[in-house]
Amino acid sequence: MVCGKCEQKLGKVVTPDPWKNGARNTTEGGGRKVNENKALSNKLRFNPYTTKFESCRICRQKVHQVGSHYCQACAYKKGICAMCGKKIISTKNYKQSSS
């Protein structure tokens, strides 16, 4: 669960979207160049060899997303963005389990 501002920081997928309407990586509408190697040109893609996985600021568990400070379980329980910690939803009236 990430906020709208942090959604731009998420990694991009190399494969093209099968759904053409609104896809960012199609050649129509200036989304992609013809004969472009997307695996080499996209700098925001996932890098499996990084050692920059932080630990969660609440439970100290390793975070599975680069750039995040909170694990998904803690972000869900608190109703916060996993990357920046901004409050997204009020969890006052929800009955949530952490199982």
Number of structural domains the chain divides into = 1
CA angle 53, 54, 58 (to 5 degrees): 145
Q: Is the pLDDT of residue 11 over 70?
A: no
pLDDT digits (tens, 9 = 90+) for 38-90: 667 666 566 667 667 789 999 999 998 878 899 999 999 999 999 999 999 98
Q: Is the pLDDT of residue 20 over 80?
A: no
What is the residue-wise DSSP string for 27-38?
SGGGSS-TT--H
The answer to whether the predicted template modeling score (pTM) of the entire model surpasses 0.95 is no
Query: DSSP label at 6?
Result: G
Tell me how far apart the alpha carbons of residues 6 and 47 are, in angstroms, rounded to a whole number. 18
CA distances from residue 52 to 81, 90, 96 in whole angstroms, order as listed: 19, 30, 30
Task: Give the residue with greater pLDDT, 37 vs 9.
Answer: 9
